[in-house]
Structure 1
Amino acid sequence: MKQGLSLRVSQHLALTPQLQQSIRLLQLSTLELGQEIQQMLDDNPFLEMQVDDVHEEIGTAPPEPRLGEEGEGSYEAPVSVPDSSAAAAAEAEPAAEYSEEGETSWEGDGTTETVPDDGEWGGEAPAARRNTLGEDDEVDATDLARGNESLQSWLHRQALALRLSEEDRAALRYLVESLNDDGYLEDTLESLAAGLAPDDLEQQEELVHRFTVALRLLQSLDPPGVGARNLTECLMLQLRSMQQDDPGDEVCPIAIRVCQQPIDLLAKRDVKRLVQLCGDGEQQVKNAIAMITRLEPKPGRRFVDVERNIVIPDVIVTQVGRGPRANFRVQLNPDVMPRLRVHDVYAGALKAHRGEGHQALQQRLQEARWFIKNIQQRFDTILRVSGAIVERQRNFFIHGELAMRPLVLREIADELGLHESTISRVTTAKYMSTPFGTFELKYFFGSALGTETGGNASSTAVRALIKQFVAAEDTKKPLSDSQISEMLKEQGIECARRTVAKYREALRIAPANLRKAL
């Protein structure tokens, strides 16, 4: 074997540490970003959150902003989109190098001076309330949620009126705290007892007895059906409560007998089979089923803390003007934009003293600078993508979801000069507040269905049409999937029956036999 030296030129793609961080931050939701920021604030002494009203501009402002009525940076459709991409901006920055040990280096240019990028970032971000009913009436959904009483608190207050021993009161309290959000007791009494006394069988038997008594007390409280172990028991508890309130009701006993039958017969509304099993007339069974359908399958539903269901939009779209000439202002939600900056005192002290550990502290300073830039870059990219979506889906913001046009990720990627995977990250778990409600950015993307005219219709618009057809149907003769498919063809949209069934299931609409009124 002959040995020799050769010179070869090749290209390869290397993700710098700051670009890796930029990609990771881009795919985080608002909640996850807040956790990431808090973790960075705890770990990096050079990073701090600005809490007062002092504001200094840093870095690159959002591309081509226009001042809205409140003086905030915004877009007005049609949106002009700059050619530079977030990824290209990250690549243009000085790349961090790897040390000999293979660890990430954040040294950068080696300077420790407070540069303009070290100032606060986040723009004017007052804690403005966005859930407004009018100019004078402001309602914060979070405050409304906090005003709701929890199911456990409501049951505990009722239990105070019961004369119980200390043991029974403790058992009732334990069962109340074991309920899920729907008001069901998912764990068996034996498993609850085993969890409290894992090694004492005699004590477990005593606990099961206490829990059995406490369960009967719990199921007698309001709302009816609370403390049930399954759906059948929940319905039975509510029917018995109605029977106690109105002993002369003739339908309630029949409804109880219907609930005692296999639950799948009730779900399928198999009237003939239920008539045979219950021994009642067909009309009586139909009246009983109608009564059962008015019951609450989740007794704890109205007590669920609505704060957990609040979606904080990342982008706010407001209409400027009316009619076909209306424009739409696209702006970032200032409530979700962090106001970060490099700690001036620490950065100045690091510049003045170059003692032991200076290199490590300099890396942390550079890390803080890159983190601020990547946070800013994340919001800039979200704003650019949102502006492009508003421009493409302009008809939706005027007429609603029936006017949605087909749109795929590649169209936005080509327009903004970004990679398709970047658009996918931006549109995941990011939300836009519109005049028609708050939607995830992915909602505005949909596949195309062919039409008789040779054009395309958005799958989102087709789902909206299906929902409209079902809402207007005769409940005694509900539309089948084949009939809906034919109705779509009359509208000029080619949609097979199986596609209709898939869209109907995605909309959580029951099949025709379950939608039929008795």
Structure 2
Amino acid sequence: MKPSLVLKMGQQLTMTPQLQQAIRLLQLSTLDLQQEIQEALESNPMLERQEDGDDYDGSDPMGEGAEAASSTTTQADSYQESTTPSVDSLDDDQWAERIPSELPVDTAWEDIYQTSASSLPSSDDDEWDFTARTSSGESLQSHLLWQLNLAPMSDTDRLIALSIIDGINNDGYLEESLDDILSSIDPELDVEMDEVEVVLRRIQQMEPAGVGARNLRECLLLQLRQMPENTYLLTEAQRLVSDHLDLLGSRDYSQLMRRMKLKEDELRETIELIQSLHPRPGSQIESGEAEYVVPDVIVRKHNERWLVELNQEAVPRLRVNSQYAGLVRRADSSADNTFMRNQLQEARWFIKSLQSRNETLMKVATQIVEHQRGFLEYGEEAMKPLVLHDIAEAVGMHESTISRVTTQKFMHTPRGIFELKYFFSSHVSTSEGGECSSTAIRAIIKKLVAAESPKKPLSDSKIAGLLEAQGIQVARRTVAKYRESLGIAPSSERKRLV
């Protein structure tokens, strides 16, 4: 094929770097946005944080609408401890002169006065970790090792105990078999299976009760054996767990009463004793890091009107540094001046992107509140169906933009903190020709299950019938799907004695 030159004309959509930055900031969560802003402050000298009480002077050193503000800096008088007389040597007049009416600006109390906190290690010390030393959380493994270090035993038994603890999962169960644990020990120690079982029993006596069990039955029996001997119905509970745990799991109470020869009241109290135990004892010790949610939007009711406002404390306010911006010269094409001009332009676009993000977030949040006013007034059962297209059409934006705005953005309401995506749900047709939100249906199912008879819980078919009586037409499989999403067990597992 002979090569040739071909000229073609066409249209292509491209996004400018400014638009790409605006879209990227739009989809960031509040915590990610705070980190992005901090990185921008550290890399761009033209950006600075606007503190509370700072006033804009309205000047524009470049004549292009840059947000500039006059910043005043007050130098604090240094406090020399070497020239400070002791408290005992000061009379009343001198003591009054030593106490200023106000502390200098940009100083902390500890910078001026000696406090008890000064005795703490310096924050610059890499070895000092306040969170690590004051945190109450610890892992199950470390908790067991701490108890092991306090237990007197031989070196061989301690080595066996370490192997057993390594095989215990976060729920407190021993996942490794005793044969595998025995094979992992050095053969030169000549350890036998009896020794491994003895060490395992010692670990099973540690806290939390039930740790080191190999199955649920053993876990419950270990906890029952550590209860006081005079505990009411303790023997019956041990016999039920040991011999009839399968019947308890299937809720076959009639069989349990017949085989254990117990009355209904005695069986109910026995089951209550078993239910007071922990099926996963390790979860009492294992603790993860707390996850904090910072709301982006705050909704409150004032004078019978719902008000929507941005959480100003979530994102710091930025502005262009007027002093650095005033150093930029128009006609200068030097490398330093070009760098400063580029930094100034980047700072302006960054601030503009943040303003665009806030405006878009406010528009979307306001429309959501308008659509879901019933939820704010009456709760989940009044939730209306809502899809991305409805909000996109109301604010004049694309659905992809609405999806970015509602992802990892949270709204603080009088009913709690919810992700913006929570207010979007599909709909189900009603007998009157209307629509009912799937969130409202879940709330109704939860309400029906809470009011059901414990001896005869509602089946999925029965719940579907009750919803149909309210004009909501849903299939049984749909009810089962909603029930599972709520974490509600099937009717056979909800049956219990009263």
- For 1:49 and 1:156, locate their aligned partners in 2 and report how far apart those are by CA, in whole Å: 50
- For 1:290 and 1:4, locate their aligned partners in 2 and report how far apart those are by CA, in whole Å: 86
Which residue number in structure 1 is paired with residue 227 of structure 2? 242
Which residue number in structure 1 is paired with residue 66 of structure 2? 116
Q: Is the 8 A contact 1:258 1:266 kept in 2?
A: no
Q: Is the 8 A contact 1:30 1:336 kept in 2?
A: yes
Q: 2:438 aligns with which of 452, 459, 478?
A: 459
- For 2:67 and 2:24, locate their aligned partners in 1 and report how far apart those are by CA, in whole Å: 21
- For 2:370 and 2:423, locate their aligned partners in 1 and report how far apart those are by CA, in whole Å: 11
Which residue number in structure 1 is paired with residue 96 of structure 2? none
1:113-152 to 2 correspondences below 5 Å = 115-117=65-67, 149-151=136-138
Which residue number in structure 1 is paired with residue 365 of structure 2? 386
Q: 1:429 aligns with which of 389, 392, 408?
A: 408
Q: 2:313 aligns with which of 328, 335, 345?
A: 335
Deviates more, 1:223-232 or 1:234-243: 223-232
> Are 1:308 and 2:290 matched, yes or no?
yes
> Are 1:30 and 2:8 matched, yes or no?
no
Amino acid at match of 1:17: P
Q: Is the 8 A contact 1:258 1:288 kept in 2?
A: no
1:92-143: CA deviation from partner (whole Å, max 9, x where unpaired) = xxxxxxxxxxxxxxxxxxx9789534669xxxxxxxxxxxxxxxxxxxxxxx
Which residue number in structure 1 is paired with residue 52 of structure 2? 53
Q: CA deviation at 1:457?
A: 1.1
Which residue number in structure 1 is paired with residue 16 of structure 2? 16
- For 1:51 and 1:217, locate their aligned partners in 2 and report how far apart those are by CA, in whole Å: 61
- For 2:204 and 2:456, locate their aligned partners in 1 and report how far apart those are by CA, in whole Å: 39
- For 1:473 and 1:449, locate their aligned partners in 2 and report how far apart those are by CA, in whole Å: 24
More relative contact order, 1 or 2 (CA 8 Å, 6+ apart): 1
Runs of 5+ consecutive residues of structure 1 not aligned to the other structure: 60-110, 121-145
Q: Is the 8 A contact 1:226 1:234 kept in 2?
A: yes
Q: CA deviation at 1:282?
A: 7.2
1:423-502 to 2 correspondences below 5 Å = 423-502=402-481
- For 2:254 and 2:39, locate their aligned partners in 1 and report how far apart those are by CA, in whole Å: 62
> Are 1:408 and 2:387 matched, yes or no?
yes
- Normalised to the residue count of structure 2, the TM-score between the two structures is 0.69
> Are 1:507 and 2:486 matched, yes or no?
yes
1:280-314: CA deviation from partner (whole Å, max 9, x where unpaired) = 44767776544333323344656676871442221
1:217-274: CA deviation from partner (whole Å, max 9, x where unpaired) = 6643444335656655543332222255738723232243058x66xx6544356888
Name the CA shift for 1:218/1:151 in 2 (closer, same or farther; >3 Å). Answer: farther
1:284-299 to 2 correspondences below 5 Å = 288-299=270-281
Q: Is the 8 A contact 1:401 1:464 kept in 2?
A: yes
SS in 2 for 1:242: coil
- For 2:220 and 2:394, locate their aligned partners in 1 and report how far apart those are by CA, in whole Å: 55
Deviates more, 1:400-409 or 1:302-311: 302-311
- For 2:431 and 2:189, locate their aligned partners in 1 and report how far apart those are by CA, in whole Å: 71
SS in 1 for 2:313: helix
> Are 1:320 and 2:302 matched, yes or no?
yes
Q: Is the 8 A contact 1:184 1:229 kept in 2?
A: no
Q: CA deviation at 1:404?
A: 1.0
SS in 1 for 2:294: coil
- For 2:355 and 2:301, locate their aligned partners in 1 and report how far apart those are by CA, in whole Å: 26
Name the CA shift for 1:229/1:37 in 2 (closer, same or farther; >3 Å). Answer: farther
Which residue number in structure 2 is paired with residue 65 of structure 1? none
Amino acid at match of 1:238: Q
SS in 1 for 2:234: coil
Q: CA deviation at 1:205?
A: 9.2
> Are 1:371 and 2:350 matched, yes or no?
yes
Amino acid at match of 1:320: H
Q: CA deviation at 1:450?
A: 1.1
Q: CA deviation at 1:34?
A: 2.8
Amino acid at match of 1:32: D
- For 1:334 and 1:320, locate their aligned partners in 2 and report how far apart those are by CA, in whole Å: 19
Q: CA deviation at 1:464?
A: 0.6
Q: Is the 8 A contact 2:137 2:285 kept in 1?
A: yes
Amino acid at match of 1:45: N
Name the CA shift for 1:31/1:7 in 2 (closer, same or farther; >3 Å). Answer: closer
Q: CA deviation at 1:449?
A: 1.1
Q: Is the 8 A contact 2:30 2:314 kept in 1?
A: yes
The percent of aligned pairs where both chains have the same amino acid is 42
- For 2:241 and 2:356, locate their aligned partners in 1 and report how far apart those are by CA, in whole Å: 61
- For 2:50 and 2:190, locate their aligned partners in 1 and report how far apart those are by CA, in whole Å: 57
Amino acid at match of 1:397: L
Q: Is the 8 A contact 1:314 1:432 kept in 2?
A: yes
Amino acid at match of 2:319: R
Name the CA shift for 1:36/1:237 in 2 (closer, same or farther; >3 Å). Answer: farther
- For 2:199 and 2:350, locate their aligned partners in 1 and report how far apart those are by CA, in whole Å: 55
Q: Is the 8 A contact 2:233 2:270 kept in 1?
A: no
Deviates more, 1:160-169 or 1:18-27: 160-169
1:68-87: CA deviation from partner (whole Å, max 9, x where unpaired) = xxxxxxxxxxxxxxxxxxxx
1:2-50: CA deviation from partner (whole Å, max 9, x where unpaired) = 9898684x432111122122222222222222333334344x1326552
SS in 2 for 1:250: helix
Name the CA shift for 1:162/1:113 in 2 (closer, same or farther; >3 Å). Answer: farther
- Normalised to the residue count of structure 1, the TM-score between the two structures is 0.67
Q: Is the 8 A contact 1:239 1:255 kept in 2?
A: no
Q: Is the 8 A contact 1:236 1:256 kept in 2?
A: yes
Amino acid at match of 2:308: V
1:155-184: CA deviation from partner (whole Å, max 9, x where unpaired) = 58984994647979999899999987x653
SS in 1 for 2:404: helix
SS in 2 for 1:308: coil
1:438-475: CA deviation from partner (whole Å, max 9, x where unpaired) = 11111111111111111111111111110000000001
- For 1:214 and 1:356, locate their aligned partners in 2 and report how far apart those are by CA, in whole Å: 74
Name the CA shift for 1:2/1:460 in 2 (closer, same or farther; >3 Å). Answer: closer
Which residue number in structure 2 is paired with residue 137 of structure 1? none
Q: Is the 8 A contact 1:258 1:274 kept in 2?
A: no
Q: Is the 8 A contact 1:46 1:347 kept in 2?
A: no
- For 1:215 and 1:39, locate their aligned partners in 2 and report how far apart those are by CA, in whole Å: 52
- For 2:315 and 2:364, locate their aligned partners in 1 and report how far apart those are by CA, in whole Å: 17
Name the CA shift for 1:376/1:213 in 2 (closer, same or farther; >3 Å). Answer: farther
> Are 1:184 and 2:183 matched, yes or no?
no
Q: Is the 8 A contact 2:298 2:310 kept in 1?
A: yes
Which residue number in structure 2 is paired with residue 75 of structure 1? none
- For 1:209 and 1:312, locate their aligned partners in 2 and report how far apart those are by CA, in whole Å: 55
- For 1:303 and 1:317, locate their aligned partners in 2 and report how far apart those are by CA, in whole Å: 37
SS in 2 for 1:475: coil
